[in-house]
Chains A and B, each alone.
Chain A
Amino acid sequence: MKLDELTKGVFKQNPIFYLVLGLCPTLAVSTRVDNALGMSLGVFFVLVCSNVIISLFKHRIPPQVRIPCFIVIIASFVTIVDLFMHGYAPELHERLGIYLPLIVVNCIILGRAEAFASKKSVFDSFLDAVGMSIGFMLAIVGIALCRETLSSGKIAIFDYTIVPTFTQSPSVMMTLPPGAFLTIAVIMAMIKYKAIRKEGR
Chain B
Amino acid sequence: MREEVKRILGIAIPLIIICIISGAALTATYGLTEERIEAVEQQKINESLSTIFLGASFTEMDDYYIATVSGEEIGYAFIAEGTGYGGTIRTMVGMYPNGTISGVSIISQSETPGLGTRIAEPDFTNQFSGKRIEGVRLRRDGGVIDAITGATISSRAITDIVRERAEVVMNETR
Is A76's CB within 8 Å of the partner chain B?
yes
Given known contacts A31-B114, A97-B87, A98-B110, A73 and B26 CB-to-CB distance under 8 angstroms: no
Please give the distance in Å from A158's CB to the nearest CB on chain B: 16
Bound form: Cα–Cα A60–B110 in Å: 41
**Contacting residues of chain A (74-93) with chain B, CB-CB under 8 angstroms:** 75-76, 79-80, 83-84, 86-88, 90
Kindly report which residue of chain A lies nearest to residue B25, judged by CB atoms.
A76
Flag if A87 contacts B22 (CB, 8 Å): no
CB neighbours of A32 from chain B (8 A): 113
Q: Number of A interface residues at 8 Å Cβ cutoff, please give it.
A: 30
Please give the distance in Å from B22's CB to the nearest CB on chain A: 4
Flag B26-69 by CB within 8 Å of A: 1 or 0 each. Answer: 10011011001100100010000000000000000000000000
Given known contacts A76-B22, A90-B40, A83 and B113 CB-to-CB distance under 8 angstroms: no
Given known contacts A76-B22, A98-B87, A65 and B113 CB-to-CB distance under 8 angstroms: no
Given known contacts A69-B18, A172-B150, A80 and B25 CB-to-CB distance under 8 angstroms: yes
CB neighbours of A68 from chain B (8 A): 15
Is A51's CB within 8 Å of the partner chain B?
no
Is B10's CB within 8 Å of the partner chain A?
yes
Across the interface, A79 reaches (CB within 8 A) one of B11, B29, B32, B36, namely: B29
Flag if A83 contacts B33 (CB, 8 Å): yes
Flag if A80 contacts B18 (CB, 8 Å): no
Residues of A within 8 A of B (CB): 31-32, 57, 60-62, 64-65, 68-69, 72-73, 75-76, 79-80, 83-84, 86-88, 90, 94, 97-98, 151-152, 172, 175-176
